[in-house]
DNA sequence: TATCAGTTTAGAACGATTCTAATGTATTGA
DNA sequence: TCAATACATTAGAATCGTTCTAAACTGATA
């Protein structure tokens, strides 16, 4: 618990009760993909009475500090990824589930970007069938 | 115009006035990326008095018939692509603009999909910086 | 040309997210 | 230690893209 408080302070975030609970869950060593909704459900099960507004605020705050990555997979909701390293994903629409691809992949045959633009990052999303 | 009517009929779509106008614009030979909003703006400029509801309906109908591809780029809106071939994109968040990548690209080093799942398609999105 | 299934429409409803402004709490410095 | 204050949390309202509803309209057909 003290670790998490330090961790939050190191990232210029006040270790409030709510942030400590959420950070403890998110940064427990197991990479996770959460939405505001799935996180809210998890917290309800843990009987942490944290309002939806705080969940949104906290995800946003953690994102701002670079502790989470935002994933734009579909237009229905925003996914946050605790794995902030550059990596790719499998996505099963049916299961509404993302799986990290942590191995190095190479994209070859990429054309030049348009004039005056540079490539920021390449994102590969592998859609699964079933 | 008669072409478009045939085209719609061939795709089991009644060639109503609104659909003809929208199809004429979308399928004029130049590939396009539209959202309900950008299409609506374009139609307003053309003084075609087509309601937003019809724009949504029509995009959806065309999509159902395989005339458009849906692109999930961000959580703000749904993009439709008149290029229904398998291809990839450059994306400039700043310009809110998509550019087709029509050359063949290869992704190497892809791990096996999880058990009992197969790969449906691989989508590469190249984020541009400026 | 009457019929009717399919289409369009305005506006209501919806759902994820953000905002508001009132209340609560961690931090600080005396 | 405590008061002051800057920052956080919260319920509920607002927002915004999209979908739904149900009434009016229109293309196809016989």
C-alpha to C-alpha distance for B3 and B54, rounded to whole angstroms: 22
Query: Residue B60: which pLDDT band, with cuts at 50, 70 and 90?
Result: very high
Q: Do A44 and A59 meet the contact criterion of CB atoms below 8 Å apart? A: no
Q: Say if B77 is an interface residue toward chain A (CB within 8 Å).
A: yes
Mean pLDDT of A26-37: 96
Which one, of A71, A77, A45, lies nearest residue A124 by Cα?
A71
Given A111, A121, A129, which is nearest B101 (Cβ)?
A111
pLDDT at B74: 84
Q: Do A122 and B121 touch (CB under 8 A)?
A: no
Residue B102 is assigned to a structural domain of this protein: no
pLDDT at B18: 97
Residue B11: which CATH number? Answer: 1.10.10.10
Residue A76 is assigned to a structural domain of this protein: yes
Q: Do B122 and A124 touch (CB under 8 A)?
A: yes
State the Rg of chain B over Cα: 17
Q: Does residue B22 have a pLDDT over 70? A: yes
Mean pLDDT of B13-42: 97
Residue A119 is assigned to a structural domain of this protein: no
CA geometry: angle at B76 spanning A89 and A27, to 5°?
Answer: 45
Residue B46 is assigned to a structural domain of this protein: yes
Q: Do B86 and B67 meet the contact criterion of CB atoms below 8 Å apart? A: no
Residue B61: domain span: 2-80
User: CA neighbours within 13 Å on the CB side: how many for B79?
Assistant: 23
Query: Residue B129: which pLDDT band, with cuts at 50, 70 and 90?
Result: confident
CA distance A32 to chain B (A): 17
| C-alpha distance from residue B128 to each of B65, B98, B125 (Å) | 32, 10, 9
Q: Say if A96 is an interface residue toward chain B (CB within 8 Å).
A: no
pLDDT at B65: 96
Residue A100 is assigned to a structural domain of this protein: no
Q: Do B100 and A110 meet the contact criterion of CB atoms below 8 Å apart? A: no
pLDDT at B59: 98
Q: Which nucleotide shows the minimum CA-to-C1' distance to residue B53?
A: C9
Q: Say if A94 is an interface residue toward chain B (CB within 8 Å).
A: no
Q: What SS3 string covers A73-125? A: CCCCCCEEECCCCCCEEEEECCCCEEEEECCCCEEECCCCCCCCCCEEEEEEE
| C-alpha distance from residue A127 to each of B12, B55, B66, B84, B120 (Å) | 29, 28, 18, 17, 5
pLDDT per position as a tens digit, A11-29: 999 999 999 999 999 999 9
How far: A14 CA to D20 C1' (Å)?
44
Mean pLDDT of B110-117: 93
Which residues in chain A are contacts of B126 at CB distance < 8 A? 110, 113, 119, 121-123
Which residues in chain A are contacts of B56 at CB distance < 8 A? none
Residue B62 is assigned to a structural domain of this protein: yes
Q: Does residue A8 have a pLDDT over 80? A: yes
Round the average pLDDT of chain B to a whole number and report it.
93
C-alpha to C-alpha distance for A123 and B123, rounded to whole angstroms: 8
Residue nearest to nucleotide D16 (CA to C1'): B76
C-alpha to C-alpha distance for B4 and B68, rounded to whole angstroms: 15
Tell me the CA end-to-end span of chain A in Å, nearest whole number: 40
Residue nearest to nucleotide C27 (CA to C1'): A14
pLDDT at A6: 95
Residue nearest to nucleotide C19 (CA to C1'): A53
CA distance A9 to chain B (A): 30
Mean pLDDT of A96-105: 91
DSSP codes of every residue in A40-52? HHHHHHTT----H
pLDDT per position as a tens digit, A44-93: 999 999 999 999 999 999 999 999 999 988 888 999 999 999 999 999 98
pLDDT at A111: 95
Query: Residue B130: which pLDDT band, with cuts at 50, 70 and 90?
Result: low
pLDDT at A79: 96
Number of domains in chain A: 1
Residue A117 is assigned to a structural domain of this protein: no
Q: Do A89 and A100 meet the contact criterion of CB atoms below 8 Å apart? A: yes
C-alpha to C-alpha distance for A79 and A32, rounded to whole angstroms: 10
Which of A38-47, B23-32, B50-59, B67-76 shows the lowest per-residue confidence on average (mean pLDDT)?
B67-76
Residue B51 is assigned to a structural domain of this protein: yes
Q: Do B62 and B26 meet the contact criterion of CB atoms below 8 Å apart? A: yes
Task: Indicate which of B60, B111, B119 best probes the interface with A, i.e. most A CBs within 10 Å of its own CB.
Answer: B111
CA geometry: angle at A100 spanning A95 and A103, to 5°?
Answer: 145
């Amino acid at each position: 618990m003290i670790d998490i408080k330090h961790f939050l302070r190191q990232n210029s975030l006040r270790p409030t009760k709510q942030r400590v609970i959420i950070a403890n869950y998110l940064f427990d060593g197991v990479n996770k993909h959460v939405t505001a909704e799935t996180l809210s459900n998890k917290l309800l099960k843990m009987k942490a009475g944290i309002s939806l507004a705080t969940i949104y605020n906290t995800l946003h705050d953690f994102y701002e500090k670079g502790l989470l990555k935002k994933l734009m997979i579909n237009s229905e909701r925003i996914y946050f990824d605790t794995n902030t390293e550059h990596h790719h994903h499998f996505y099963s629409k049916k299961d509404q589930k993302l799986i990290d691809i942590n191995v190095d992949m190479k994209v070859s045959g990429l054309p030049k970007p348009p004039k005056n633009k540079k490539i920021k990052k390449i994102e590969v999303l592998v859609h699964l069938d079933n």
